[in-house]
Amino acid sequence: MTPVSAGASSPVCLADYERLAEQRLDATAWAYFSGGSADEITLGWNRAAFERIAIVPRVLAGGPGGHTRLTLLGRSYAHPILVAPIAYQKLAHGDGERATAAAAEAMDAGMVLSTQASVTLEEAAKAGATCRWFQLYVQPEREATLKLVRRAEAAGYEVLVVTVDAPINGVRNREHRAGFTLPPGVVPENLRDIAVAAFPPLAEGESAVFDRFLAAAPTWEDVAWLKGETRLPIVLKGILSPDDAVRAVEVGADGIIVSNHGGRTLDTLPATIDVLPDVVAAVAGRVPLLLDGGIRRGTDVLKALALGASAVLVGRPIVYGLAVNGAYGVAHVLRVLRDEFEIAMALSGCRTLADIGPHLVLLGAGR
């Protein structure tokens, strides 16, 4: 696919990519990528919460030496915008995660690869040098979990991102209405050789949710066990509670991603930006905090960092760019967001990330 040509219909912001992606994707893929759980209240809150936060700039703060560089878990990054883990990207484009990894490398963006990627973790790592974080779903059998971890280590991944907020799928009514199923040729490639446990039939009175899925779900003990089995830093993704954040640090987590799974698990979870300040206070700088959920503008990145995040992850806009124009689309999404962020910094009086702080934001301004 060739790059989108310049012109009146060319996308100039992330919202444009969303509009164009809806036209490109079939109805079932659109429902999968864009939908949330139940009534999609959390999905809406993620955006509305950013819109309620105003920026109060500082002026006459120019000068040389400005940049967006940061160090995160032992590696330097050109900017604090990472690609979130997104499953089954071949639903959006035939090159899937390979295209996203190539685009992330071109734009100096760190990338987190999903366990449920539609290419192998080895292929993704070869496609883009910045694809070095691996999102891990803890498997029911520890042997299967370790198999994924060892593959990630061998392929050069540098961080394990353990998702902790989805022991079972949410009630995704939009997907149900669209009749979503994976088409032929799109499978979770990293799980091909993972044996799926055969559950016995439920006994009378047993619950599939409690007696099957939750009974096999990971616990804090599994995180502590995993910490002892790998040299890689472990970041827990899906923390909203300050108490859980404190416990994550206590069991050895090296970082936390404040996330509500993009509004795809339990509906009416709070917006991530709303809970971020309390989590920041609870963690008290002991580990880096990242945030995802609702990032659509460079000003959103600025607001997240002002409230204590070290970096942000971007999900749906990445796949929208992929659907519209493959690797070119993903690269443009990342470029636009980084440009907007740098402009927001400059207009707020920030020459480096160290200048960004809570003094720049006014909470509840849009109520």
Half-sphere exposure of 334 (CA within 13 A, CB side): 31
DSSP per-residue codes, 112-166: EE-TT-SS-HHHHHHH-TTEEEEEEPPPSSHHHHHHHHHHHHHTT--EEEEE-S-
For the stretch 30-89, pLDDT in tens is 999 999 999 999 999 999 999 999 999 999 998 999 999 999 999 999 999 999 999 999
* pLDDT reported for residue 205: 74
pLDDT over 60 at 331, yes or no: yes
7: in domain? no
* The two structure tokens encoding residue 258: 């404040």
Sign of CA dihedral 10, 12, 17, 22: negative
In a domain, 101, yes or no: yes
Q: Which residue has the higher pLDDT, 207 or 235?
A: 235
* Domain enclosing residue 32, as ranges: 14-198+207-362
Catalytic residue positions, numbered: 261
Asked if residue 334 belongs to a domain, the reply is yes
Summarised one tens digit per residue, pLDDT across range 10-27 is: 999 999 999 999 999 999
For residue 310, the 8-state DSSP code is S
Q: Does residue 45 belong to any structural domain of this protein?
A: yes
User: For position 170, which CATH number holds?
Assistant: 3.20.20.70
Q: What is the DSSP string of 72-103?
A: ETTEEESSSEEEPP-S-GGGT-TTHHHHHHHH
pLDDT in tens, 290-329: 999 999 999 999 999 999 999 999 999 999 999 999 999 9
- Tell me, yes or no, whether 5 lies in a domain: no
Residue 292 lies in a domain: yes
Residue 225 domain-assigned (yes or no): yes
Measured CA to CA, the distance from residue 19 to residue 92 in angstroms comes to 14
With 0-12 CB in 10 A as exposed, 13-18 as middle and 19+ as buried, what is 334?
buried
The one-letter amino acid code at 39 reads: D
Q: What is the pLDDT of residues 209-230, one digit of tens each?
A: 775 667 677 899 999 999 999 9
Structurally, the chain folds into a number of domains equal to 1
| 335 domain residue, yes or no | yes
